[in-house]
Chains A and B, each alone.
Chain A
Amino acid sequence: MTDLTLSSRLGALPYDPAPESATLAHLRQSYGLFVNGEFTAPESHEQFASLNPATEEPLASVAMASPLDVDRAVVAARRAYDKVWSKTTGTERAKYLFRIARLIQERARELAVVETLDNGKPIRESRDVDVPLAAAHFFYYAGWADKLEHAGFGPNPRPVGVAGQIIPWNFPLLMAAWKLAPALAAGNTCVLKPAETTPLSALVLAEILQQADLPEGVVNIVTGDGTTGAALVDHPGVDKIAFTGSTDVGRLIQERAGSAKRLTLELGGKGANIVFEDAPIDEVVEGIIDGIFFNQGHVCCAGSRLLVQESVADEVLRRLLRRVDQLRVGDPLDKNTDVGAINSSAQLDRIRELTSWGEREGATRYTSSCALPDKGYWFAPTVFADVSQSHRIAREEIFGPVLSVLTFRTPEEAVAKANNSKYGLACGVWSEKGSRTLWVAQRLRAGVIWANTYNKFDPTSPFGGVRESGFGREGGRHGLEAYLDV
């Protein structure tokens, strides 16, 4: 109890605001569609606003791409593929990608502010994670462009052609990098469709592609909503679809794409974070926090199900709740902020809906006592204890700062509970005993397993799921396969 008193006193210490300046974003008032190397007006001249979810105020107006605009972009990508990119040597493609990586680094601060304004994520994360990793992805895949014959897919791997890429709103710039870098390295041209609520960093990236003198049409960026994405999926001139987003939309895309197009899907998850009794609890608590509250829990691989061994469950939960109470929720531009704004009102509604089910089905709810700003979309960090496997909050992806805590007794039970999900994206295992960790890792049905860490990403490390979390990998040598005709 002494600890609790001390910590609550520490937690109550005021921080002076340390805001990054929003003006660093240098946003334009209005953006067109990036087609064939230049920003162009959509045929309908329809624009929509991208909001700052922390203030609900519009940041910029972006173009709504119709199926006709998508067609224009696909035609540009096809022309660029036939006339330019398929004839550009790997060495030259590599140098374009290295250039893009450098330009991202040069404009890192601006990109971080844009990302935080548009998405609502803390500047600490966009600055230290999203933007550096985006640059790193271009650096990594740049080096592959002239080494594809050594990548293990046969002596002369060919590109697929025109890739349609649909990305989510949780890591807008990083997902654009994950999609574009391997596609370009492998020799494809791209039509990228950013998420409706977070189009801005991709449009800054379009400026960067101009600065890099990337040949026109090699990358086209069409902003819009679900109808834009559907037009891209249905377009007969697209050879490959790469999608990151929800399992429900992924299912529709797989149905529509049939087998006429190559397809890779990075979908939802309900990651189990498994804590054994011998794990160092302080590190575990930080790992649990990173696992579920990183990026407001808007992470497909979030560790949203905590499976803790019964013998230490009370202790872990006690320390976890104390830590949750200390998370600083608020202005995403403030460098001290831990948890930012929920990306949209629609997402906030979904989080509220599912958490209300948590209480309705009998779980015990703990909500952080943090104050929430009046304007904007906010959800206080929340932990549910006494959760059983049949509860909706244990089965469905909430995609928000909400953790469900379950317990187990034996490693077998931990594995069985972790695998009791239609998803299979990521899991965490916390134990000092390496043999047990690897035993568990071997049995988990998941594409990524973090042992004594969570939510780590690297361009060299393949990422992706099994079962209804999708198929295909992004990152590493494996990530090339999605963009090669092999």
Chain B
Amino acid sequence: MLAVRGVAKAFGPTKALSDASLAVRSGEVVALLGENGSGKSTLVKVLSGVVRPDAGELVLDGRPVRPGSPRDTLRAGIVTVYQEILVAPDLTVLDNLWLGSAAFTERSERARRRARAREVLDVLSPDPIALDGPVSALDLMQQQVCVIAQALLRDPRLLVLDEATSTLDVTLRDRLMAEVRRRCDEGAAALFISHRMDEVLAHADRFVALRGGVTVGELPRSGADAETLVRLVSGEEATAQRRSTRRGGHGLQRTVLEVSQLRIQPSSEPLDGIVRAGEIIGLAGLEGHGQDEFLQCLAGLRRPAAGEVVLRTGPHGAGTTVRNYRQAVRAGMAYVPRNRKTEGIAGVLSNLDNFTAPTLRRDARLGLLGRARRAARYRRFAEFVNLTAPPGKAVVHLSGGNQQKVIVSRWLAREPSVLLLNDPTRGVDLRTKQELYGVLERLADQGTTIVMLSTEVEELIGLMDRVLVFHGGSCAAVLDRSEATRERLVSAYFGHGSGATGSEEVR
């Protein structure tokens, strides 16, 4: 019914998709699997018309589809439920359900619109949802039901569910999947993306895996189990990895960071742990499973639901409980945020200005800035991170890698004892990545504690002393350097902390 062939899409220098192909037959539920950054969500965006592909073709029911906008693909019969809950909060439930469809403005259709909306909502949700209240008065789960109902009301030929069930409870999920199955039996089809392995196994007829923007394989339902799927997603070939040459033995070093009974959300499992000076800790997990929130708790940017974070950076291991960001910074913490453009840099300023912004005081004597002092300090750190761009250049004109170097060196200039990084190698070219790894290792050797969120399996395996894998808002697995293999990591991503190999310690 739907055939996708050789779709490619690049965002700037990053290739999100290079050769993605997919076929979905009428009556079928296909699961699309892949790690973070494998191109899943880009492929969904291509199918839904949000993103225009650079190459490749889409054929629906024998006719080529040229998606220019969601409007086009919706008219063609491809209806997508997105990962985010996209509703117009100020409109009523009824208006949201019919928004953008052809019947939206027909006044004569009014009664039919109400009846159909009622019908679909009742199929999905056992609790009635009022049609005339604003969507903003509903809770997240009900809003998600509205989004799904909107999709079902369009009678899709192909229904694309991108993590659409994440906020639904078990009852609603079962109702939805039963409805999807019913529609498929009537000749529609569904493409299904989920981070829950059990769900994927229970509902899909076929599995297609993406890796690095390429379709790497598929499996029929028969013969597929969690283990084979993980292998399909992660790839069996042992990639030639860069293994850290550092000695891991920091066992005698003092404790720098202590986490006790920390819960990110009220529902998450409590986490205890210590991090010593000179350790590099990786935080991993599929997008949105709690690793980001955990890092923000460490930085004092977010309050945990319970428990505390203590920075033992004072003399003789005196501790500071992290209450807010300012105080954490004063205690020797530095945080490199994820989104360079919005959180990290002041684009129009030169990279010298960007570098000095948080540490300006160190260049001042009697409140006056010393230009030479500033330049000397900049040179020292630029050398350390191997930044060659001229100091006077506006940061926006630098490459992503160089921007990242400016930001990292800026925080290094504070000489932190704990450095937190939120996915620092995202959108950075390969060479700079390697350079950054080198910088981090040298820092760790000098005794800096590094906690780094990463979405790249390679660097989690190659760089970290330990990796904490998050699933469903809790730390689901802790892998030591010796245990961290690609397969185990991916398996832990999908909540199979002990399933695939059965030897990790799961907290």
Q: Do A and B bind each other?
A: no
